[in-house]
Chains A and B, each alone.
Chain A
Amino acid sequence: MATMQELASKEGSFSGGHRMCAGCPVPIFTRMLSRVTDYEVVVCSATGCLEVASTIFPYSAWKVPWVHTAFENAAATMSGVEAAYKVLKKKGKTDKQIKCVAIGGDGGTYDIGLQSLSGAMERGHDMLYICYDNGAYMNTGIQRSSATPMGAATTTTPVGKESSGKAHLKKDLTSIMVSHDLDYVAQASIHNPVDLSKKIKKGIELDGPAFLNILSPCIPGWRIDPSSSVELARMGVETKFWNLFEVEHGKYTINYRPRKDVPVADWILAQGRFKHLKRPEHKHLLEELQSQVDGQWARLLKLAGE
């Protein structure tokens, strides 16, 4: 694997001048796609922030072939691209070495696109699907998704007399993808580019279906300062809210172990979307969230055979 400096010297797949929010960490990984591999990459985005903010006709921030068709079908659209590539390659109509990457937010992946993702992965298309999980439908104005953590205030789970924010726990999508017995499933975070780039490279280059779930803080959605997105991602990992691991055909490897036990409240209370949890009437949620995070880590250790 090349060093970060070497990677940075290669042409990125994503240019500046896009309209993602200041401080949005998504371009960290969209730039990497062409840098981490010698394959040519073709990218499909689900409808979402990335799609809307990376293009507006006649402009595009994409320096690699890119397509967006709709919200719930990035994996299905890519299935067709991959199938076409296979036949055209066999017929000698292309001599390129191409790999397919589909990208969706948590709305397009955990929720509306879960069926088409599951279908594409089960069919074994040679494709890396990347979910950037920012924990709500941010593009449409911060509505809850099944990836929203319990207790988060969103525009559809506002805090009120009868509400402490989102009432349900976050869906564990990564485990659902592990259950597909894929060649490669991993979780990464945008604060750790070395780990992230290795995982993107692996997911792109292997011949088969791969899924990568990336924790990606959202400036307006998490109600945080634009300068703090990388730090908030790091804290998410240090508090074990989001763990870095990879799974190859059911075999788990933990890629990072926090040295200290940092309470999840440190991460939670650094975000405006949870600020009501400081109030005594909602405080029980902090305990629930801590016990969920503890249980998640214990399960991961067990799955990794420790």
Chain B
Amino acid sequence: MAEAMRQINPEVVAAFPITPSTQVIEDFAKFVADARVDTELVTVESEHSAMSACIGASLSGARAMTATSSQGLALMWEMLYIASSMRQPIMMTLVNRALAGGINIHCDHGDSMGARDAGWIQIYSENNQEAYDNMVMAPAIAENAGVRLPIMVCQDGFIISHSIETMQIEDDEGVRSFIGERLTEHSLLDTDNPASWGALDLADYYIEHKRAQIDAMANAKTVIQEVSERFNEQFGRKYELFESYRLEDAERVIVAISSVSGEIKQTIDTLREKGEKVGLLKIRVFRPFPYDEIREALKNAGIVAVLDRSASFGAYGPLFGEIRTALADLENPPMTYNRTFGLGGRETFPSDIADIFAESERYLQGGKIEKVSDILNVRGD
């Protein structure tokens, strides 16, 4: 991720260290120290100030970036909404980590899922290659004139952030030509045309401003597809709103996000050898959520198990809610159920995935979901 940030060469990076995203900023600080980037690195005293400084920098016409995890994102919360409301294309590397308490440094998606209504584009990455590629695409998506929204590129803490993988890093020139310059219509530094930002905004205009954000997020779906297509043309790696893995004729489907998809794909390959019709729909873009495309992709499935790596206490998992909503308009929607897994870094193995496909088979044969929601690999059952 630090390498992608070096290639983007933003004018301002403001960040506060937090495990497991710390290394991104440490590596970037070295690039600054060695003058390999033109960036002002603002080593702020908190994540709240990190996002505040990113907003100030972005309003001034700069490309602004940060990296964080977990509590750091939680401390930014207030400013996440202000960044998106001010329509600033700030870019964030989010290394997913469980939220306290008890304090835990390992992966789950509680941090970013909690921020899903903050008005940020959210793109999830299965591995380091995807994280890098998504970050290279981020400026073109966020800064698009029809979008102008902040973007977080998420990857799983430790599982991905601290793993060593073979990957393709594109050359600087190629990346920079792909990204181009940020074009700013209004800058806080334009003293000839002074503008006021962040005015009091009450009942007579607030809802129009929210509507503009809602529309921009809807536009983002098309822009993400266009930018991904352009990325494929230039770099030869194809990305869509979600990845369909052996989905075409699948009767039993798992929907999941990020690194667990590796185990799911491996399990699918094994089961497919035995002739089982199983497949994966891997979410890449969670905000904006591609309801129509997902409905189309899953319309022929018999049963869909949705894996949530975060808990919404007192409700189904956030991904499950979206998937059920997407499928609700079908005349004969597939059966759906929800499994929560991996909170705080609890391991998930290919055998767990095989168990889910077996369970799906039972439900499908019996014509009934016995347990709509449950937790995997947990004590107390």
Chain A residues packing against B (C-beta within 8 Å):
40, 42, 44, 51-52, 55-60, 62-70, 72-73, 76-88, 90-91, 93-94, 96, 98, 115-116, 118-120, 122-123
- Could you pull out 15 A-B pairs where Cβ atoms are within 8 angstroms? A56-B202, A57-B202, A57-B209, A60-B196, A64-B191, A68-B199, A79-B14, A79-B49, A81-B57, A83-B53, A88-B11, A93-B61, A116-B46, A120-B49, A123-B43
Question: B197 in the interface, Cβ–Cβ < 8 Å?
Answer: yes
- Cβ–Cβ < 8 Å partners of A88 in chain B: 11, 60-62, 189
Q: Quick one: closest A residue to B43, CB to CB?
A: A123
The answer to whether B199 touches A84 (Cβ under 8 A) is: no
**Cβ of A119 and Cβ of B189 under 8 Å apart?**
no
Is B39 part of the binding interface, using a Cβ–Cβ cutoff of 8 Å?
yes
Complex: A162 Cα to B296 Cα, angstroms:
69
Are A66 and B194 also in contact (CB < 8 A) when A56-B200, A76-B44 are? yes
Any A CB within 8 A of the CB of B38: yes
- Flag if A84 contacts B49 (CB, 8 Å): no
Q: Which of B188-220 contact A (CB under 8 A)?
A: 188-191, 194-202, 204-205, 209
Does A55 lie within 8 Å of B200, measured CB to CB? yes
Give Cα distance in the complex from A64 to B196, angstroms: 8
For B240, list chain A residues within 8 Å (CB). none
Complex interface: chain B residues within 8 A of A78 (CB)? 56
The interface residues of chain A lying within 8 Å CB-to-CB of B48 are 72-73, 76, 116
Chain A residues with Cβ below 8 Å from B200 are 51-52, 55-57
Smallest CB gap from B195: residue in A: A65
B194 adjacent to A62 (CB under 8 Å) = yes
Check if B223 is an interface residue, CB within 8 A of chain A.
no
Q: B12 near A84 (CB under 8 angstroms)?
A: yes
Which residues of chain A are near B56, meaning CB under 8 Å?
Answer: 44, 67, 69, 76-84
A73 cross-chain contacts in B, Cβ below 8 A = 48-49, 52, 79
Do the beta carbons of B49 and A116 come within 8 Å of each other? yes
| Interface size of B as a range | 35 or more
In the assembled complex, which residues on chain A have CB atoms less than 8 Å from the CB atom of B64?
Answer: 80, 84
CB-based contact A90/B38 at 8 Å: yes
Report B-chain residues with C-beta under 8 Å of the C-beta of A119: 44-46, 49
Quick check: A76 and B52 within 8 Å, CB to CB? yes
**Which residues of B are at the interface with A, using a C-beta cutoff of 8 A?**
11-12, 14, 38-40, 42-46, 48-49, 52-62, 64, 78-79, 82, 86, 188-191, 194-202, 204-205, 209
Query: How far apart sit A42 and B82, CA to CA, in the bound complex (Å)?
Result: 19
* Cβ contacts under 8 Å, A58 to chain B: 199, 205
From A57, A63, A83, A87, B194 is in contact (CB under 8 Å) with: A63
Q: Is the CB of A77 within 8 A of B52?
A: yes
Residues on B with C-beta less than 8 A from A86 are 40
CA of A69 to CA of B46, assembled, Å: 16
Q: Which residues of A contact B44 (CB under 8 A)?
A: 76, 79, 119, 123
B197 x A68 contact (CB < 8 A): yes
Chain B residues closer than 8 Å to A87, beta-carbon distance: 11-12, 38-40, 62
Tell me whether B195 and A69 are in contact (CB under 8 A): no
Residues on the B chain within 8 Å of A85, using CB: 60, 189
Which B residues lie within 8 Å of A67 (CB)? 56, 59, 188, 196-198
Kindly provide the distance from the CB of B375 to the nearest chain A CB, expressed in whole angstroms.
37
Q: Are B55 and A83 in contact (CB under 8 A)?
A: no
Which residues of chain B are near A60, meaning CB under 8 Å? Answer: 196, 199
Chain B contacts of A62 at CB under 8 A?
194, 196
Question: Chain B's nearest CB lies how many Å from the CB of A248?
Answer: 24
B189 contact set on A, CB distance < 8 A: 42, 65, 81, 84-85, 88, 94, 96, 98
CA–CA, A65 to B119, complex, Å? Answer: 25
A231 to B8, CA, bound (A): 56
Smallest CB-CB separation from B194: which chain A residue? A65
Complex-state Cα separation, A98 to B190, whole angstroms: 10
Task: List chain A residues, Cβ under 8 A from B191.
Answer: 40, 42, 64-65, 96, 98
Q: Which residues of chain A have C-beta atoms less than 8 A from B61's C-beta?
A: 84, 88, 93
- Is the Cβ of A80 less than 8 Å from the Cβ of B199? no
Residues of chain B lying within 8 A (CB to CB) of residue A68: 197-199
CB pair A80 B14 closer than 8 Å: yes
Q: How far is the CA of A64 from the CA of B40 in the complex (A)?
A: 25
Cα(A91)–Cα(B53), bound, Å: 20
Selected from B188, B198, B199, B202, the residue in CB contact (under 8 A) with A81 is: B188
A53 smallest CB distance to B (angstroms): 8
Tell me, rounded to whole Å, the shortest Cβ–Cβ distance linking A43 to chain B.
9
The list of the 5 closest CB pairs from A to B, nearest first, reads A80-B56, A119-B45, A80-B53, A76-B49, A55-B199
A contact residues around B11 at 8 Å (CB)? 83-84, 87-88, 91
Collect the chain A residues with CB atoms within 8 Å of residue B195's CB. 65-66
Which residues in A have their C-beta under 8 angstroms from that of B58? 80, 84
